[in-house]
Every structure is written in C-alpha cells, then in structure tokens.
C-alpha cells in the first residue's frame, strides 16, 4: 500500500469517499478507551495490529481490543518501513499514538459486599504491602516488529526468567514489563521473512475460527496447525534449518526433550478415538495415584519454580468426598466440594479436558489451584498460548462465559461453541453412567457448576440471542439446546412413545421434596414441588396500572436468581419466547430454525406454565404452523417434523388446546399428509432411503399428534377418512425387499404407530355384549365412538403379524436362538423395529379382547357367554401354532425374548419386555373368554379326544399348559428387578440445590435418573411383574413378597396403578397368613425368642389387609392440588409486594386422589412417587393429619382407624423382618437396606399417640419382639455412635424426644416396654445431643425412676455403660439431676438411669483426667459435696455407692484413693468428706 501524504499536512481535509480497499482501512479506527483532541487526519487510518497472535482472549467485552501503539501511517508490516529507516518522518496526524499509550481497560464496577471465595489467599497475604501498578512503557518500532515477528523469543525469555528472578507471589497486582530485546541477535533477513509470512496469513480475519463460525466442525488446533504448515511451506530449506538452529541454541536441552515427548504424545492421542482417550485418562489417573508422592520426571531445570503434575493436585479429602461420613461433613458439603472442584477445570474448544503437564506450587509446598492470572494480566497468559498449541491452556467455564461477551463476533462464537461442547460431553457422560466423583472428570459437578448461579450462563445466553451476527445466534441456540438436554430428552421420549402404556409423559421441570414433618413421623417422601413458583416464571402475568408500577419491580437480579433455581424458567422469564418468535418470523436458515423449534419443544415439556406461555404468546404457534404450510408442500425436512412434535406436546397439556388447534385449522395444516392417498410400497422405496426416513419420521409424529386428539375424544369420526391411506402400513410386507432398500426400520416405525393409534381407538369401542341403547345415548351426547363393524378387517391384518412363521426373517431369527455362534441376518436395530411392531400388534389385540369381556360374568345366564366372536379362538390358535410358548420340544419365542431382554441393549430389552407383556395379556383374555364360553368341549370332552392338540390346549387354557414356562419367566424377571433397584433408588439427593429429577435427564440418580433407558426398562419390568403375578396364581413366597416391595421403589410418576396392584397383591389374606407362618418359624428357630401363645383369626387378617391397603393408598398415591379459594377474592394489587423478592411456593394445598381429566401430561410436582426406601414404615409412623377448614385455620385430626393401622403395621413390619432372617434367599431384601435407626424411630413414633398399641395383648407381644430384634442388631454394631438419629432422621430430633418423654411421663405409669424404648435413647451409640435431650426431659418430668433396670433393656448393658461418658454437658446434667433430687427414687428402684449416673460419674471423677477436664471434675465434685452437706440424710447412701462403685481387685485401696482425692478437691467441705469416710468405714468395714 502506498503511503499517502508522506510529509503529512498540518490541516488535512477530511474525505468521505472511499474505495473498496480504503473501506477496509477503517477497521480499528474507532478509539474506545481514549479520545484525541486533534481533528481526523486526511489519510485513511491504519488498521490495528495485534501485539500477539490473534487467539481469542477471555476478557470482558468492556475491556475492548488491546491494540499496540500505532507506528507510522502504514498498514503493512514491512521491514523496509520499520527496519533501518530511521530518517523517515512519523507524525501523529490523528492522535492515535497518544491515545493508544494511555488507553486502559474500563474497570468493571465492583460488586457490593465481601467476597470470601479467596479467603485463604487474603489471610496469607495479610499485612503485605501491595506494589503500585506499573504501566507498560511505550516500545519503539524496532522492538515491536521483532516481537510480532518472532513471538517464540518472548516465550523463551518468559520461561527463562525464573532462573534470574523470583516468581511473582499470588495476589500481587503487579503487571510485568514486556521484555525489550535489544541484543539484536536475530538477523534482519529472518525478521523480514517472518513479517512477510505473517502479513500473508489471515490474521485479522477470523482469529483462527472463521471455519467454525461458518458452520464447519473444524477444531481450532487443526486450523492453527494448517496455518503453521502453510507458513513453513513458503520457507526454503535453508531458512527452516537456520530457524531451527536458532531455537535449539536458545532453549534448554531438557525443555527440548520435554517438548518432543509432548509432541509424540499428541500424535499418539490423535490416533485413538474419544472412548480410547477416556479409558487412557482413567488408566493414567490410577497410575498417578500410585505414584502420588513422586514428581513428574519431565521437569525443567528451573530450580526456584516448583513444578508438579496436575494429577498430584487432587486432595485426599476431595477424593473421598462422595463417601464422606456424617461426623465430618454432610452430603451437601461433599456435593459442594465436588462442584467447587469444577471451577478450575480447563476445556478445549472441542469440550475436552485440558490437562496441563505442570502446575504451580505455592510457597507453603501445597499445590495451588489459582492460575496466577487476573483480569489485568490475562494478556500474559494469552501471549503464552501462542507458542505451538494455542488451545493447550484452554478456558474455564467462567472464562468462556466472559468471552461470550467479547466485542469480536468470532470470539463470541468460539466461546459459545466451547460451552456447547462441554455441556454436550457432560450430558452424554452422565447418561452413559460415566460419572465418577473420584475419576478423572466429574461431569455431574461440571454440569452443576455451569448451570449454577456463579457463571450467570443464562444471562449471557439471553444477551447472545439478541446478537446481530447470525453465527453468534446459531451458536447461542445450540448452547441452549445442550442446557435443556433437547437431544437426550427426545431420545427418551421417543422410546416412551413406542410403549403401549404411554399417555403423555412427565414434565421435565426441576423439583424438590417438601421437608419431612413430625406429623408423619419425619418419614421421607413428601410431595414434590417445583423449584420455581409458576407465577414467578411470567412476571407479566398480571396487568398492572401505571400507578402500581415500581421502578425496581423487575430487575435482572431476579431473573438471574430464578435461572439459578430453574434454567429453563429463567430463560422464559427473561423473554426468550418473544425473541424466538421474532427469529422465526425473519425466515431463518434451516439449522437455526431447527434449533429454535427444538428449544420450544424443551420449554413446552418443562411445565404447564411454560406450555401455557407458548400458547398465550399467540404468534409462536401460528408462525410455526404458517412456516410448515408456506414451504414446499411435498418437501419434508427436520423443521416440519419438529413443528408437529411441538404441537403434539402442547396438545397433551390441555383439552382446550386441541379444540383451539381444530378451530384455527392448524391441525389440518400439519396433518394433511395422512389424508393423501399413498403411492405403492415400491414407489415409496424408490424415492430413496433418505426420503423414506424423512417421510417416515413425519408420518410417525403426525400419527402421534392425531392420537392425542383421539384420547381427548376429538377427530374420531375423521379417522375413517384417513384409514384408506393407512391400510398400506398394516399388512406384512416383503421384509427382504425392505432390507435390500435399507428402509425396514422406517416402514416398521409407521406400522407400529398405526397399530398404537388403533389401540387408542379400541378404547372408544362399546362393549361387545352391551345393549344397543348405550350406543344411542353416546350419539345423543355428542360422543364420538367407533363400531365393531369397522374393526373386523383390522384384526385380520393384525393376525398376519402374529403369524411369525410366515415371516421368513422372523422365523430364522427365532429358530437360531439356540445357535449362539450363528450370524444373524438382521441387525439389532432391525430386530428392535420388528419387536416394536409385534408389541403394538399384541397390545392392540389385548385391548380388543378386553373390550369383548363382559363387565360382570355373574349377570350372564349360567355365568356363560351365549356365543363367542370368531376372532377370539382364532387369536388363541395363532399364539399356539406359532410357538410363542413351549408347546413342544422346540424353543419358544418367550424364551428368546427373555434372553434378549437380559443380554442385549436397553431399547431391545424394553421392546422385548413390551412384547412379553402384550402376549401375557392376550393369552389371559383369551383364556377368560374361552373358559366362560358355552362350548361343547367343556360339556362333553370325550367327543373331542381326537381333536387337534392345538384345540385341546385352547379349550383347557393356554396358561395352564405353559404354567412352568410362566413361572420360569417370573423367576428371571424377579432376579432382574432385585438386581437393578439399587441403581435407580436414589432419585433426589439434596433439596433445591442438588441433583433432582427433571434437570435435563434427571441425573440425580445413577445411570441417568428417571429420564434414562435403565429406569424406563425397570418401570416396564414392574408392569410386566404385575401382569405375571396376576395370572400365575402361585402361592406367596419370600421372593415374590420381596420383589413386590422392591418394584414399588422403582415406579415413578404416572404409574400409580402399578403400585395399587402391587398393594392388592401384598395385602391379601393368604399373604398375611404366610407372614404369620414366617414369624412363627422365626420365633422357634432364633435363640432368645419364644413363640406367641395366641393366633390371629380370619377376621383379623381381613381387617389388617384392608387397613394397610387403604392407608398406603391414601398416604402415597394421593395427588396434591391447590385449594380453591372460598369467600371473597383477595385483591393482590392492593397489596404492594416488595419487588426485590420473588414469591414463595404456596404450601396451602388440598389433597385429592382424583386426577385431572383435562390433561394427559403428568407432573412431578404435587405427588409423592417414587417411594422412599422406608415407605412401609408409614403405617406406624403417622401420628395425625393437619386439616384446613373453610376459614383457613389449621387443626389436627386423628385418623379414625389409627389404632387398627398401627397394629397392622407392626404385624407387617415383624413379618417382613422375620421372613428374610429365617430363610436363606438369594435375593437381597429392601427391608434390610433400611437402617435400624429408622426402624427404632418408627416404633417410637407409634407411642406418641398413647398406650393403645401396648394395651392390646397381641400387638404388645409383637412390639416386644421388634424391640428384641433391633436390640440384637444394635449389639452387633461395633462402630461407635452408630445410632445417628439427629443426622439421619431430622435435625430437630431432640425436640421430638422431648415430646416423646412427655408422653412417657404422662401415660406410661412405668410400662416396661415404653420405658425400654425411652432408655434406648440413652445408649452410648446415640448422638450426644439426643441423649442430652432425653435425659433432660426425663429429669424435668421426674420420670427417671420410671425407666427399667439395665437387665430389662432390649440392648446389652455394655452398650449403655461403655465407653465412659466424656461429654461435658451430659456429665453436668447427671450432677444436676443428682443435686435436684430427680435420682432419689431411681436409686431406690434400681432404675437404669441411676446405674448410668453411678458408672459414668464414678469412672470420670475417679479416673484418669487430664487437661481441660480437670476443672470440670473439680466442679462436679464440689457440687456433689455441697449437695451432701445440705441433704446428708437423703443422699448419703447415693454418694457412698458412687465412691464405692468399683468391681475390680484391690477394692479397699481404690476406695481410700478416692477418699484422698475428694479431700484434695473438697475446697472447704472437708467435714463432709470426713463424714462420708466414716460412714463408708462403718458400713463397708474398711
């Protein structure tokens, strides 16, 4: 570029016209940090030259671009302009050079308050004087050109600096000077060559990220490597050799070897896949833990700088944080420590962990997690990144979020891509159960920190969504997609839609449990509540007048706080929906539109409030539907498919949404493909595999949308119009042809969905034997129904799929089940698609058969059906002929499906389970209809002896013939359920701040939580278990009972019917009788127990069964709903709220077990499932219920059958405790997983309501037996303080003890069993706070004498006496009770309370006391002696027993030693000691 106005003009004239080249020179002409007083120069302003290589710098947008001072007026970095040209004239025409030298970053406003996040560094540097910040001096052009030309030299001097200078201490704000290399060692020619090569590289065009911004998935490292190779290709061999020699001379040999090894490691790392890298990192982590004390062998020669490997930075406490004990820290502290460890993890642009080879060590020898860089000197770090591999240092999450606010679009895009990659890796690892808090990467902690309140990711994303660069907006919506787990959730919901039991799915909003209450005995498993109150999500939900508006009513702080509790809700509150609507209206690109609709789907799945926000916005739904219809009608793309999915999710929430879609014509716009007469199957296959895939996906979503409308009762009559176009998908095609064209999966997906929608239509069929009058009534009421005449051909087409022997690939598949080594012709995905079709067909047929069964067989003449439909025996015969069960020596399909469910992947296991479930239901319904039919074979069986074997099996019952196989399948299923339940039992760990279901994929539980395939499989197996238990008619066993208890723990929201059926199975008279037999066997076998002298009657079993079933249904299956307001409505506008606070979650709810019929969606909130592990203790732990009357006042109400429920609960608890103890079972009972602390607490709660349980003879014996069982468990525990009531039950447990003691003192009258239960809280393994509360309560109530002797307690005496009491408050409480007279009667009655005092006080006072305990001993002795001087007659015997309490040899010597000790401590009470000494000598003959 030629130099304009070389001499420069003093008064240049501004020009406003620029050419194409001149326009580019304006880049950098804006001065952000300084302003010039001089007018603009007449020549174009030179573009800025960065002082470092253009790699993204993680600084705030307000810092601006830090440019080097402008040198001259040239834009071209040329050696001829800067080297050896000292005589040229350099004038500052525009004042930019002055501005550049004084420009500083804008200092961000400091936050109010004190930040204690770095308190250790503050304490460490306390008292040290901070040095003033020294500004960097202006550098001349020669040095600047050298620095830009050869940045490696700068890096070299940086690394060699510690040899001559001490390292900078942490916390210092000193900005180091940039080195000015004046030695002139580099040759001018070499500098010129490098400057020219840098000029030719595209430095200012993309910051090595333009390809990524444009949409290509190219890594930053590969781009930089390509630029370096391009630069080397322009150099000659001599120039390369000369440059290498110069580098070799300057670098340390050890450092050169280190860099070579690192390069070799990178080359090897690139050869392996991602899974191999993860495995390798885990192996390296294990190896590094073995050599934790050793330093890395590859260290530099810098002596003053301590260098360790990053693997040695892991603290031992952090490693054991997941298994931290309650003594040291709570689970919340351990979780907080895990999340805090994610703060310093650095990531590459691909989202991979950057593991630097070295880490700085602090002066005290401990590894420092601080990087040593701050916002002021971060440029030093970014300068160091330019050496070799700029991505080596990576970014932390907070740095990436800060970089997303950069002024440069390319940097914002790169930062957002990095965040998206990190979150995607985290969610994938969590869902694949690759989470290990002790492993190399704790992805749960990374996910929690990223979505936490500190990075303020939601606010940054909302700002980026308003960006005016399309690349930034696209990268932003991809991050939001990852945060909302759109892809992972859609995978799970897609599999859920394939199951026949799916209705609407559960909402994904994060929830937490309500706190346990004393009224329910502190039992866990309260109602779920949303993390965010729904009214806080939409802050514009009420129209307010201008006079009511407050200036600070809606602040960004409120949005950020709410986003920290619920990320999706925070985005909605920040107004993401209007912005998405605007972007959709501006005709976005296909990738952007797809991401936007995916985000809308995730928001709609979040909660009813968010779905209503989308509906109420008005424009969003209309815009999506309009874009669906405005595009090429025959064209099918992903955006259209997701548009239908969005409408389906919205329609599931409310019935009125469906009506709105019908009236507005939206339904017809998006489902017109279903009415189009299809082409032949051959033409469909000829369109290509990709076109078939898209058309299949669109048809599937349209059918699912239509199925929602049918469930609500809409569009049923219209189904006959589209049935003609759907018939092509009902019949069995030529499977081989589909496999050749690679479209079998797509065809099966459509077929499966058609049969699922037909199953929903079956529910609209009238009962086959119902009166015609019911049909006319439905028509009169306007209800859409379907007739049986329309269903005959459908059953025939469905039977074609049941005849698997006529389908060649399925025949080969089922026949090769015994040949393990044979290569199957079908892939797993193809097998899975076929199984889903068979599952939908079988479940549709089961629904048809269920509609045929009369509601009441007793109303029929002679209890028999007059005639039977033709398709009923036809279905049964096809089941028999096609080998679904083992009717011959050959294998059966059920055996194959059972093995497939165990050995293969999760989705295959789910599909095979659904197949077995549908088959079981079909066979059960066929048998019921055949047995109740008026068949001649039942009346005259001799006439049909020559009938075919299939007919005989059908007439006698299919299940009866294959009972052995059903039993075998049930046994295998129970094994699977018992082995998996522990991996899914931990749904919630903490309250609002920790992992919980609904957060993305619900990663609060292992294996991904309740949005994982493992949990879906477990719940589907629970449904199959219920069906098998109902049809098997096997006698109750310990295995089936334990499995039923376990299955109750795995069932989630929407599956309350499964628990209801399991309750019906467990609480039957035969099961309770079996429990009684187990109790009798246990009492006769176990030592120390004696059998009961009474038996339960039949009426008592029936009473117990009804009481328990009713209690557990009301306790766990009720749904909580908001109470309808009564009386006058409160004017909320009149009450002006403080705008600084968000509304709290309303606790004023009313319980009802009637679910709303206006919504198909399920909510985690307002219900209690899944059950806690100790749910069966609620029968004896529920004290009373809190009710709310019409006036809003609360009162306590005792349940009517409380006593019956308590008696039944005690019996049931003893039964499930006795059976596992008396039988050697391979199953691990869930009862054993409940700690003895909870069980002891439960039998204490039952006494809060009075002595009713203990007054009944039978329940009293049961209660005593439970005490003895738990007493033996306590005696077997060797750990000290094993009974952690306060830590494990509730933090206010001492208050509960006070209430229990008051009840004991008021009603017990010294009852031994009640006293034993209270005495248990004085056991030495109980926490000190609980023991103190129990003792003080007994002492204040003068009830210490009511406690039984030690030999009558249900635990050994050693547990109460050892170890010696060392708690100061408890010892003082003992003496206080002694002095106050609370122990007077206890001493006379030989109560265990006085025995405790004698043992512990005597052992403490006369034992080896050192240190601070000496003053306590002296204090206690003086109190006892003063009390003796005042109450000599009353307490003389007690004090004598205290002094003479010694059971070892040399008793006389010990008593004398104790008396001498008392004389030393008496402090003026020597006369009292002498009196007690004379009394002892007189009575004990000393």
* Tens digit of each residue's pLDDT (9 = 90 or more) over 497-552: 999 888 888 888 888 888 888 888 899 888 988 888 998 988 654 444 444 444 44
Do the Cβ atoms of 1312 and 1254 come closer than 8 Å?
A: no
> Between 719 and 409, whose confidence is greater?
409
What pLDDT is stored for residue 470 in this prediction? 94
Distance in angstroms (rounded) separating the CA atoms of residues 531 and 988: 13
pLDDT reading at 54 higher than 50: no
Give the DSSP H/E element, type plus range, for residue 702.
helix 689-711
Distance in angstroms (rounded) separating the CA atoms of residues 1404 and 1392: 18
Residue where the block lists tokens 């009852």: 1311
DSSP annotation string for 304-361: SS-EE-GGGG--HHHHTGGG--TTT--HHHHHHHHHHHGGG-EE-TTS-EE--S-EEB
Q: How many CA atoms lie within 13 A of 1025 on its CB side?
A: 33
pLDDT reading at 895 higher than 70: yes
For residue 1385, which of 1434, 1319, 1436, 1333 has the smallest C-alpha distance? 1434
Structure tokens at 412: 């914002």
What pLDDT is stored for residue 344 in this prediction? 86
Category of 701 on φ-ψ map: left (φ > 0), alpha (ψ -120 to 50) or beta: alpha
What pLDDT is stored for residue 985 in this prediction? 60
Report, as an integer, the average pLDDT of 916-930: 93
- Name which of 194-198, 783-787, 1049-1053 the model is least confident about: 194-198
Residue where the block lists tokens 């609060």: 1004
Residue 166's pLDDT band (cuts 50, 70, 90): very low
Give the DSSP H/E element, type plus range, for residue 530.
strand 528-530
Residue 1343's pLDDT band (cuts 50, 70, 90): very high
What pLDDT is stored for residue 164 in this prediction? 39
To 10 degrees, what angle do helices 470-483 and 486-498 make?
Answer: 50
pLDDT reading at 1297 higher than 60: yes
Most confident of 48-52, 340-344, 754-758, 1406-1410: 754-758
Residue 932's pLDDT band (cuts 50, 70, 90): confident
Residue 717's pLDDT band (cuts 50, 70, 90): confident
> Between 1345 and 304, whose confidence is greater?
1345
Cis peptide leading into residue 1363 (ω within 30°)? yes
Structure tokens at 415: 């930062």
Most confident of 516-530, 895-909, 1354-1368: 1354-1368
What pLDDT is stored for residue 1006 in this prediction? 52
Cis peptide leading into residue 1170 (ω within 30°)? yes
What pLDDT is stored for residue 1024 in this prediction? 94
Residues in the chain: 1486
Distance in angstroms (rounded) separating the CA atoms of residues 1046 and 979: 10
Residue 100's pLDDT band (cuts 50, 70, 90): low
> Between 1409 and 544, whose confidence is greater?
1409
To 10 degrees, what angle do helices 409-431 and 470-483 make?
Answer: 20
Query: Could you tell me which residues are beta bridge partners of residue 1122?
Result: 1149
Residue where the block lists tokens 């199975």: 1065
Distance in angstroms (rounded) separating the CA atoms of residues 1427 and 675: 99
pLDDT reading at 1067 higher than 60: yes
Classified as helix, coil or strand, 43 is coil
- The dihedral of CA 637, 640, 645, 646: what is its sign? positive
What pLDDT is stored for residue 432 in this prediction? 72
What pLDDT is stored for residue 1151 in this prediction? 43
Report, as an integer, the average pLDDT of 1241-1254: 92
Apex CA 1377: angle with CA 1374 and CA 1382, to 5°?
140
Residue 243's pLDDT band (cuts 50, 70, 90): confident
What pLDDT is stored for residue 936 in this prediction? 64
**Coarse DSSP helix, strand, coil percentages of the chain, rounded to the nearest 5 percent:** 60, 5, 40
* Tens digit of each residue's pLDDT (9 = 90 or more) over 1260-1277: 999 999 999 999 999 887
What pLDDT is stored for residue 802 in this prediction? 93
Residue where the block lists tokens 């094993």: 1282
pLDDT reading at 1434 higher than 80: yes
- Name which of 121-130, 1373-1382, 1410-1419 the model is least confident about: 121-130
* Pairing between β-strand 1185-1188 and β-strand 1149-1152 as defined by DSSP bridges: unpaired
DSSP annotation string for 77-143: --HHHHSS-TTS----SSSHHHHHHH--PPPPPPPSS---TTHHHHHHTTTPPPPPPPPPPP--HHH
Residue 283's pLDDT band (cuts 50, 70, 90): very low
Structure tokens at 965: 């196989």
Residue 102's pLDDT band (cuts 50, 70, 90): low
Apex CA 573: angle with CA 571 and CA 577, to 5°?
65
Residue 621's pLDDT band (cuts 50, 70, 90): very high
Most confident of 621-635, 714-728, 910-924: 910-924
Structure tokens at 932: 């109740």
The b-or-e profile of 224-260 (16+ CB within 10 A means b, else e) is: beebeeeeeeebeeeeeebbeebeeeebeeebeebee
* Tens digit of each residue's pLDDT (9 = 90 or more) over 461-506: 999 999 999 999 999 999 999 998 888 888 889 999 999 888 888 8
Residue 319's pLDDT band (cuts 50, 70, 90): very low
Q: How many CA atoms lie within 13 A of 365 on its CB side?
A: 2
Distance in angstroms (rounded) separating the CA atoms of residues 348 and 354: 6
> Between 725 and 39, whose confidence is greater?
725
Q: What is the mean pLDDT of the chain?
A: 75
Distance in angstroms (rounded) separating the CA atoms of residues 622 and 392: 48
What would you measure as the largest C-alpha separation in the chain, in angstroms? 126
Residue 1250's pLDDT band (cuts 50, 70, 90): confident
- Name which of 12-26, 411-425, 573-587 the model is least confident about: 12-26
pLDDT reading at 309 higher than 80: no
Do the Cβ atoms of 1355 and 1271 come closer than 8 Å?
A: yes
* Tens digit of each residue's pLDDT (9 = 90 or more) over 1022-1048: 999 999 999 887 888 888 999 999 999
* Tens digit of each residue's pLDDT (9 = 90 or more) over 952-994: 888 888 998 888 889 989 988 998 888 877 766 655 655 555 5
Residue 1412's pLDDT band (cuts 50, 70, 90): confident
Distance in angstroms (rounded) separating the CA atoms of residues 1476 and 1486: 12
Spatial neighbors of 101 by CB under 8 A, at least 6 apart, are 69, 138
pLDDT reading at 1226 higher than 90: no
Query: Could you tell me which residues are beta bridge partners of residue 1186?
Result: 1196
- Name which of 383-387, 512-516, 693-697 the model is least confident about: 383-387
Whole-number percent of the chain with pLDDT over 70: 66
pLDDT reading at 183 higher than 50: no
C-alpha 669 chain-centroid distance:
38
The strand ranges marked E within 1104-1188 are: 1119-1122, 1149-1152, 1185-1188
Report, as an integer, the average pLDDT of 1005-1031: 82
């Amino acid at each position: 570029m030629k130099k304009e106005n070389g001499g420069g003009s003093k008064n240049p004239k501004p020009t406003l016209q620029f050419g194409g080249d001149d326009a580019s020179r304006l880049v950098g002409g804006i001065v952000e940090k300084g302003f010039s007083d001089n007018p603009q120069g007449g020549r174009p302003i030179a573009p800025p030259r960065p002082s470092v290589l253009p790699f993204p710098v993680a600084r705030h947008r307000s810092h601006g671009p830090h440019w080097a001072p402008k040198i001259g007026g040239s834009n071209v970095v040329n050696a001829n302009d800067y080297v050896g040209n000292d005589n040229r004239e350099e004038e500052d025409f525009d004042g930019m050079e002055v501005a550049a030298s004084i420009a500083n970053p804008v200092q961000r406003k400091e936050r109010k308050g004190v930040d204690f996040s770095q308190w250790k560094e503050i304490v460490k540097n306390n008292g040290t004087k901070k040095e003033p910040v020294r500004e960097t001096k202006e550098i001349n052009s020669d040095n600047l050109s050298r620095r830009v030309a050869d940045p490696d030299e700068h890096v070299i001097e940086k690394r060699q600096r510690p040899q001559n200078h001490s390292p900078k201490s942490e916390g210092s704000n000193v900005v180091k000077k940039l080195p000015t290399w004046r030695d002139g060692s580099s040759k001018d020619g070499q500098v010129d060559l490098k400057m020219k090569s840098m000029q030719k590289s595209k430095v200012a065009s993309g910051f090595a990220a333009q390809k990524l911004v444009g949409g290509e998935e190219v890594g930053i490292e590969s781009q930089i490597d390509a630029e370096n190779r391009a630069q080397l290709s322009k150099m000659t061999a001599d120039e390369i050799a000369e440059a290498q020699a110069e580098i070799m001379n300057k670098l340390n040999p050890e450092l050169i070897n280190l860099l070579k090894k690192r390069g070799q490691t990178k080359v090897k790392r690139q050869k392996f896949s991602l899974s191999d890298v993860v495995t390798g990192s885990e192996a390296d982590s294990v190896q590094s833990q073995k050599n934790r004390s050793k330093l890395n062998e590859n260290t530099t020669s810098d002596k003053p700088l301590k260098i360790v490997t990053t693997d040695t930075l892991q603290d031992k406490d952090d490693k054991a944080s997941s298994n931290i004990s309650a003594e040291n820290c709570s689970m919340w502290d351990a979780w907080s420590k895990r999340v805090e460890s994610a703060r310093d993890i650095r990531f590459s642009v691909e989202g991979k962990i950057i593991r630097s080879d070295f880490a700085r060590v602090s002066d005290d020898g401990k590894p420092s997690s601080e990087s040593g860089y701050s916002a002021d000197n971060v440029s030093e770090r970014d300068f160091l990144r330019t050496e070799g591999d700029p991505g080596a240092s990576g970014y932390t999450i907070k740095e990436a979020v800060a970089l997303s606010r950069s002024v440069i679009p390319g940097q914002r895009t790169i930062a957002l891509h990095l965040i998206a990659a990190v979150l995607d890796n985290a969610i994938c690892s969590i869902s694949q159960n690759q989470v290990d808090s002790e492993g190399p990467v704790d992805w749960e902690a990374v996910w929690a920190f990223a979505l936490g309140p500190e990075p303020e990711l939601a606010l940054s994303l909302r700002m980026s969504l308003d960006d005016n660069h399309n690349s930034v907006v696209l990268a932003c919506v991809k991050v939001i997609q990852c945060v909302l787990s759109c892809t992972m959730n859609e995978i799970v919901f897609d599999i859920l839609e394939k199951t026949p039991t799916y209705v609407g799915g559960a909402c994904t909003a994060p929830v937490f449990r309500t706190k346990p209450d004393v009224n329910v005995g502190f039992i866990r498993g309260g109602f779920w509540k949303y993390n965010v109150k729904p009214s806080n999500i939409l802050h514009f939900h009420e129209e307010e007048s201008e006079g009511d508006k407050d200036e600070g009513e809606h602040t960004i702080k409120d949005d950020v706080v709410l986003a920290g509790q619920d990320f999706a809700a925070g985005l909605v509150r920040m107004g993401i929906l209007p912005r998405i609507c605007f972007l959709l209206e501006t005709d976005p690109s296909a990738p952007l539109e797809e991401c936007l609709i995916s985000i809308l789907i995730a928001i709609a799945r979040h909660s009813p409030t968010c779905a209503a926000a989308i509906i109420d916005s008005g424009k969003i739904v209309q815009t999506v539907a309009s874009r669906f219809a405005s595009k090429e009608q025959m064209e099918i793309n992903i955006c259209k498919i997701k548009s239908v999915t969005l409408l389906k999710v919205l329609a599931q929430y409310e019935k009125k949404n469906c009506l709105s879609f019908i009236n507005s014509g939206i339904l017809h716009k998006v489902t017109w493909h279903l009415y189009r007469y299809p082409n032949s199957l051959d033409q469909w296959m000829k369109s290509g595999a990709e076109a078939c895939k898209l058309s299949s996906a669109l048809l599937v979503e349209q059918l699912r949308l239509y199925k929602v409308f049918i469930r609500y009762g809409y569009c049923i009559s219209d189904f006959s119009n589209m049935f003609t176009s759907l018939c092509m998908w009902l019949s069995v095609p030529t499977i081989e042809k589909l496999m050749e064209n690679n479209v079998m999966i797509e065809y099966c997906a459509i077929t499966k969905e058609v049969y699922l929608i037909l199953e929903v239509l079956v529910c609209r069929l009238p009962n086959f034997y119902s009166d015609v009058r019911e049909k006319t009534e439905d028509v009169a009421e306007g209800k859409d129904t379907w007739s049986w005449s329309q269903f005959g051909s459908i059953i025939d087409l469905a039977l074609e799929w049941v005849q698997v022997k006529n389908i060649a690939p399925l025949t080969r598949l089922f026949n090769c089940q015994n040949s393990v080594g044979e290569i199957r012709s079908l892939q797993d995905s193809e097998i899975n698609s076929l199984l889903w079709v068979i599952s939908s067909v079988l479940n549709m047929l089961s629904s048809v058969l269920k509609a045929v069964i009369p509601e009441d067989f007793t109303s029929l003449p002679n209890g028999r059906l007059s005639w039977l439909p033709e398709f009923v025996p036809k279905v049964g015969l096809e089941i028999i002929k096609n080998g679904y069960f083992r009717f011959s020596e050959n294998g059966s399909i059920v055996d194959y499906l059972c093995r497939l469910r165990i050995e293969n992947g999760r989705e295959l296991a789910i599909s095979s389970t659904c197949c077995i479930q549908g088959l079981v239901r079909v066979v059960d319904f066929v048998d019921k209809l055949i047995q109740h039919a008026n068949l001649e074979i039942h009346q005259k069986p001799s006439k049909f002896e020559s009938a075919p074997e299939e007919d005989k099996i059908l007439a006698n019952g299919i299940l009866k013939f294959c009972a052995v196989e059903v039993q075998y399948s049930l046994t295998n299923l129970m094994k699977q359920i018992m082995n998996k339940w522990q991996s899914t039992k931990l749904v919630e760990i903490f309250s609002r701040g920790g992992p919980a279901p609904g957060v993305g994929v619900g990663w609060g539980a292992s294996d991904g939580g309740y949005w994982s395939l493992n949990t879906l499989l477990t719940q589907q197996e629970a449904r199959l278990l219920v069906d098998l238990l109902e049809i098997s008619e096997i006698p109750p066993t310990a295995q089936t009972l334990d499995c039923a208890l376990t299955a109750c723990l795995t069932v989630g929201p929407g599956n309350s019917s499964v628990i209801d059926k399991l309750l019906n199975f467990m609480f039957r008279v035969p099961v309770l009788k079996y429990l009684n037999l187990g109790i009798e066997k246990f009492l006769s076998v176990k030592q120390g127990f004696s059998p009961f002298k009474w038996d339960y009657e039949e009426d008592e079993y029936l009473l117990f069964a009804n009481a328990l079933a009713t209690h557990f249904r009301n306790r766990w299956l009720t749904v909580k709903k908001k109470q309808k307001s009564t009386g006058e409505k409160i004017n909320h506008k009149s009450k002006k709220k403080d705008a600084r606070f968000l509304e709290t979650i309303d606790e004023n709810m009313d319980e009802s077990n009637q679910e709303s019929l206006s919504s198909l969606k399920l909510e985690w909130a307002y219900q209690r499932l899944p059950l806690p592990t100790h749910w069966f203790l609620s029968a004896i732990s529920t004290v009373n219920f809190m009710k709310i009357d019409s006036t809003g006042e609360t009162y306590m109400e005792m349940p009517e059958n409380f006593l019956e429920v308590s008696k039944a609960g005690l019996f049931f608890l003893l039964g499930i405790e006795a059976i596992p103890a008396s039988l050697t079972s391979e199953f691990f009972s869930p009862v054993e997983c409940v700690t003895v602390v909870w069980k002891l607490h439960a039998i204490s709660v039952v006494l809060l309501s009075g002595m009713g349980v203990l007054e009944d003879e039978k329940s009293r014996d049961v209660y005593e037996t439970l005490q003895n069982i738990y007493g033996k468990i306590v005696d077997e525990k060797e750990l000290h303080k094993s009974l952690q009531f306060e830590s494990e039950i509730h933090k206010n447990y001492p208050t509960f003890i006070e209430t229990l003691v008051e009840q004991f003192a008021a009603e017990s009258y010294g009852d031994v069993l009640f006293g034993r239960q209270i005495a248990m809280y004085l056991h030495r393994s109980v926490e000190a706070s609980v023991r103190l509360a129990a003792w003080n309560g007994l002492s204040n109530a003068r009830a210490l004498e009511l406690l039984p002797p030690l030999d009558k307690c249900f635990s050994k005496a050693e547990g109460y006496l050892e170890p010696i009491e060392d708690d100061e408050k408890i010892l003082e409480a003992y003496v206080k009770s002694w002095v106050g007279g609370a122990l007077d009667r206890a001493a006379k009655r030989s109560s265990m309370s006085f025995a405790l005092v004698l043992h512990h006080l005597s052992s403490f006072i006369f034992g080896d006391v050192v240190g601070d305990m000496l003053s306590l001993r002296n204090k206690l002795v003086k109190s006892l002696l003063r009390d003796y001087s005042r109450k000599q007659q009353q307490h003389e015997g007690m004090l004598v027993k205290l002094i003479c309490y010694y059971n070892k040899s040399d008793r006389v010597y010990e008593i004398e030693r104790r008396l001498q000790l008392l004389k030393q401590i008496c402090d003026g009470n020597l006369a009292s000691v002498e009196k007690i000494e004379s009394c002892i000598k007189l009575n004990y003959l000393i």
